Structure formats: structure tokens, C-alpha cells
Chain A
Amino acid sequence: DTAVSQTPKYLVTQMGNDKSIKCEQNLGHDTMYWYKQDSKKFLKIMFSYNNKELIINETVPNRFSPKSPDKAHLNLHINSLELGDSAVYFCASSQVLDSYTIYFGEGSWLTVV
């Protein structure tokens, strides 16, 4: 069983479209995250949720809206996609908010054309 799974794995879309990436964790963790890895391979946190409550929002444009229907799911919706949004997006989870171990999904490769 995959601990943190995200779909789709690959997504190619046109500028201006709206798209969503879904994430689910079956580890029973309280905290979930979205990270973005850009073309230079730097990995940066975007959001974190703890028990469905938004904890971290790292100056991400309003076009990015995370939604956590329950603590096992954290979806990322992106409006009006721009070329600069092309990146790999990683979902992750940890047992609690300050756990030292974060479990990452395999990533979603988003290409905006």
C-alpha cells in the first residue's frame, strides 16, 4: 500500500486552465503538506494542514487553494495556470505537527504550455 499517494502523476495543461491535484495518506497522520520543487530542484513548502486546519501558508498566490475534506486528504486546486506554475508538486504527511519524519508522495509533474 502506498503511504502517501497523489494523482495525477503527470499533468500537461494550457495556460489559464484550472486544475486539481489530489492527495491521500493512509498512515493515520494528523498533518499534511504541499511542497513545490521548481526547475532548479529547490523544494519549498507551500502549505501545511493539521487536522484539517491551515497552519502554514508560505506566501503562495491566491490562485493556489488547498482543501482538506478530512485529515487523510489534502487536495491542491490551481486557478488560471501560468507558465511559472510548471513544477513538481509533492504531497507529504507527518504524524503530528512537529514530527521529525515527513513522508512524501511520489510527486505530480505539472507542465503548463
Chain B
Amino acid sequence: DAKTTQPPSMDCAEGRAANLPCNHSTISGNEYVYWYRQIHSQGPQYIIHGLKNNETNEMASLIITEDRKSSTLILPHATLRDTAVYYCIVRVWGEYGNKLAFGAGTILRVKS
């Protein structure tokens, strides 16, 4: 299973873009990159996922490098409610189905 490396914490000013990096240098060709976040005292929430193309949805954008060894989650206009732990996950799909392996994540603090 590919592992991910994320900075332990980041700060971002409210209204600015938050760029959260993730390294996954051992990712294999059929593994997707997923991003989830966990706001304090809540369960994790799905944000976005991608294989090799850049992806965008109503919450965020995901930029994956051409060699797929790293990616960046972009929150275009961060708000205070975006303060959370952000998890970059490379999907582990074993014989018996879907297993998401969560690492330590990045604590994003959005400040006014």
C-alpha cells in the first residue's frame, strides 16, 4: 500500500487560497488519491479524489503532478469553518473491498 506524507500543520488567512501538499511517491498506477477532512468532534468528510487528471468540485480542487508522486488540495477561498485536519489517502483496495487508511493528516488553521 502506498504511503502519504503531509506537513503536520499549516495556517491560512481567511479568504485566501489554502494549498495543502501531499507526497505519495510509491503510489501505484491504479491507486487513486483521496482527500478527506475531519472537523473537530465530527466524523471525517469526503472532499475529492482523482487518478491522474486535475479535479474540481464545489468544495475544492485537486492537482496531481504528472508523475503522480505528489498532489495538492486547494481550497480556493478558505473560511474559518474550513479549520480541520485534512487527510490525504491513497486508496487501498484489497481483495475484500474498500479500506481507507488514514494517516496523521495536516491540521489546517484558518485565521481571520
Contacts and interface: CB of A to CB of B under 8 A. Distances in A.
B43 A99 contact: no
Nearest to A50: B97
What size tier do the contact residues of chain A reach?
Answer: 20 to 34
A12 interface: no
A108 to B, nearest CB: 10
A24 to B, nearest CB: 14
Contacts of A55: 96-97
Interface in B79-112: 85, 87, 91, 93, 96-105
Nearest to B47: A101
A107 B107 CA distance: 19
A59 to B, nearest CB: 12
A11 interface: no
A39 to B, nearest CB: 13
Interface of A: 4, 31, 41-45, 48, 50, 55-56, 58, 90, 92, 94, 97-107
Interface of B: 32, 34, 38, 41-46, 49, 85, 87, 91, 93, 96-105
22 contacts: A4-B43, A41-B105, A43-B38, A43-B87, A43-B102, A45-B100, A48-B96, A48-B98, A48-B99, A90-B43, A90-B44, A97-B97, A100-B32, A102-B44, A102-B46, A103-B46, A104-B45, A105-B43, A106-B41, A106-B42, A106-B43, A107-B41
